[in-house]
Amino acid sequence: MKKIWKCCLFVVSVFLLVVGAVWHLPEIVTVSNNVYGKELPIQSVETEEKKAVLTFECAWDHSSIKDILEILEDHNVCAAFFVTGDWVKQYPEDVRRIVQGGHDIGNHSATHRNMVQLEKEEIEKELKETHQAVKELTGKEMKFFRPPYGAFNDTVILTAKEGGYLTVMGNIDSMDWKDYGAKTILRTVMEDKELQEGSIIRLNSEAKYTKEALPKLIESLEREGFRLVPLSQLLYQEAYHLDVKGRQIPDDR
């Protein structure tokens, strides 16, 4: 009888450990971000349609966010916004506007620290804090994560995956944070040789010239035949693998 009781206690303990480890139950299954033994973020998506996504990182200022949201609405475009926990706390109304506008919202850490320099437990804390803040504010369960500074390693990506997140970077960097001007942003994106079906374009909501460049960027992309869609409509969330460039490919291809 004692052996049976000990066995039951062991099973219950293991169960509790497993439940405790999964702080945001993943809906993503049968996926692989491992390429030649290294974990990679998603950079772009293999798709037959000429689709692309605009993504914005929100970590510091919010002075341009209202204008950016209005420009997107005027052009009937939904984008993705990666927010830090600190930004969520400072600008809750902007977070609500993002969600109410039909845009995707993603996790950009809590305090914009370099994830590579953190222990696994610290990474988990950074993700959890922002996840909980957004959920309490909007009711949304975020599924996408973008590490600050584009810094990642196996631990960062696997920890995010354990929390139910896809780690998403982007194959087109507008370099808007360099503040070289609206024309330079437009040229940087449109002349990038990697611009193709399934491209994920990186922008910063607080960069000096981003809102000025945005209308022409949208119009130029659409003139080239791109349909700008939400990130959630572009990504495969199950049964996929990545190539060496981080391009997401469905397993049936």
pLDDT of 164 > 60? The answer is yes
Is 128 among the domain residues?
A: yes
pLDDT (0 to 100) of residue 143: 98
Q: What is the pLDDT of residues 171-224, one digit of tens each?
A: 999 999 999 999 999 999 999 999 999 999 999 999 999 999 999 999 999 999
Is 103 among the domain residues?
A: yes
Average pLDDT, the chain: 91
Is 96 among the domain residues?
A: yes
Is 6 among the domain residues?
A: no
- CATH number, domain of 43, equals 3.20.20.370
pLDDT of 29 > 70? The answer is no
Number of domains in the chain: 1
Grade residue 239 by pLDDT with cuts at 50, 70 and 90: very high
Residue-wise burial string across 214-228, b where 16 or more C-beta atoms lie within 10 A, e elsewhere: beebbeebeeeebeb
Best CA proximity match to 239, nearest among 228, 249, 225: 249
pLDDT of 232 > 80? The answer is yes
Best CA proximity match to 94, nearest among 69, 127, 60, 129: 69
Spatial separation of the C-alpha atoms in residues 27 and 121, rounded to whole Å = 22
Is 188 among the domain residues?
A: yes
Average pLDDT for 143-159: 98
Give the tokens for residue 243. Answer: 């190539």
Is 58 among the domain residues?
A: yes
Spatial separation of the C-alpha atoms in residues 39 and 55, rounded to whole Å = 22
pLDDT of 13 > 70? The answer is no
Average pLDDT for 74-83: 99
Is 9 among the domain residues?
A: no
- Which residues make Cβ contacts (< 8 Å) with residue 206, sequence separation at least 6? 58, 59, 60, 61, 62, 63, 64
Q: Which stretches of 24-108 are assigned E, i.e. beta strand? A: 31-32, 34-35, 38-39, 44-45, 51-58, 80-83, 104-107
The pTM of this model reads 0.87
Domain of residue 49 covers: 27-250
Grade residue 32 by pLDDT with cuts at 50, 70 and 90: low
Contact 144, 173 (CB under 8 A): no
Q: What is the pLDDT of residues 37-73, one digit of tens each?
A: 899 999 999 999 999 999 999 999 999 999 999 999 9
Is 117 among the domain residues?
A: yes
